[in-house]
């Protein structure tokens, strides 16, 4: 992409991230299949992508919002997606910050093992590049949450990423696995759950629904099985509003009675 001359800057940024962010331990890595797969995690603000870059134990590429890789698009996207919910009195600060992070974002995401994602016709390029990396033996890491809350652990998933398995099947005749990943920064822990295999003979709309539900349930089940901790949510909200994970029995009761 023309950014290879900035790779040494990326190495410094990567080293700083390793120093600043939690040192994650891995659990459940035995659930990763002995084949390329799609790893799907909770975003946990910046923690998810950073943890994926530094600690994923298999060869991988991470889906990255394309706007965060393009100089002219970083600031408006970052402000809208990360900080537009901040109190009006301090939004000016975050508007400035969105421009400050632009060179860091462009250098980082164009040198890391990323695949740009867009929500328009360019998405076909995302799928094509992803299938190529899968065929080369690398897995794909995706953080598909958006702002609709699913429960106290995870927000609802945008579901079009499931189509990647359909493209891969058409190219190779193989049905991919999706592996849930729960990232708990307050426990310094990344936990992989049981894989869910794509069914090529099912309607894609049904598969989007089934796989997203299974992944969100898998992430939730991991979270509530862990010791009590504060969940770092997808939205950039005040820390006092961060939720707690619930004991498994309480969560089961909540699902049953709601």
Q: 227 in a domain, yes or no?
A: yes
pLDDT of residue 251: 42
Range of the domain at 232: 23-71+114-257
Q: Is residue 7 part of a domain?
A: no
> What confidence tens digit (pLDDT) does each residue in 193-218 have?
999 999 999 999 999 999 999 999 99
Tell me: pLDDT of 4 over 80.
Answer: no
Is 90 within the bounds of a domain? no
CB atoms within 10 A of CB 246: 19
Does residue 247 carry a pLDDT above 90? no
Lowest mean pLDDT among 98-102, 124-128, 238-242: 238-242
User: What is the count of structural domains for the chain?
Assistant: 1
146 domain-assigned? yes
pLDDT in tens, 72-83: 999 999 898 888
* Residue 6 maps to a domain: no
**pLDDT in the model for residue 120:** 85
User: How many CA atoms, within 13 angstroms, populate the side-chain half-sphere of residue 89?
Assistant: 0
157 in a structural domain: yes
Is residue 88 in a domain? no
Nearest to 55 by CA among 33, 26, 34: 26
Q: What is the pLDDT of residues 106-145, one digit of tens each?
A: 999 999 999 999 888 889 999 999 999 999 999 999 999 9
Distance, CA of 150 to CA of 153 (rounded, Å)? 8
Tell me: the pLDDT tens digits for 129-140? Answer: 999 999 999 999
């Amino acid at each position: 992409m023309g950014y290879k001359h900035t790779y040494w800057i990326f190495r410094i940024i990567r080293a700083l991230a390793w120093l600043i962010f939690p040192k994650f331990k891995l659990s459940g890595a035995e659930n990763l299949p002995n084949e390329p797969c799609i790893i799907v995690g909770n975003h946990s603000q910046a923690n998810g992508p950073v943890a994926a870059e530094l600690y994923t134990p298999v060869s991988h590429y991470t889906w990255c919002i394309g706007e965060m890789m393009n100089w002219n698009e970083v600031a408006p996207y970052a402000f809208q997606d990360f900080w537009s919910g901040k109190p009006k009195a301090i939004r000016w600060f975050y508007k400035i910050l969105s421009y400050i992070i632009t060179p860091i974002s462009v250098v980082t995401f164009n040198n890391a093992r990323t695949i740009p994602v867009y929500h328009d016709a360019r998405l076909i390029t995302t799928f094509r590049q992803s299938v190529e990396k899968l065929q080369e033996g690398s897995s794909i890491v995706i953080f598909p949450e958006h702002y609709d809350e699913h429960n106290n652990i995870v927000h609802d998933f945008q579901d079009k990423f499931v189509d990647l398995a359909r493209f891969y099947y058409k190219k190779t005749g193989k049905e991919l696995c999706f592996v849930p990943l729960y990232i708990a920064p307050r426990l310094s822990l990344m936990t992989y759950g049981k894989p869910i295999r794509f069914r090529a003979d099912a309607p894609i709309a049904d598969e989007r629904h089934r796989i997203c539900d299974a992944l969100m349930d898998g992430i939730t089940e991991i979270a509530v099985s862990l010791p009590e901790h504060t969940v770092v949510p997808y939205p950039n909200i005040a820390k006092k509003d961060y939720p707690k994970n619930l004991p498994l029995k309480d969560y089961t009761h909540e699902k049953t009675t709601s």
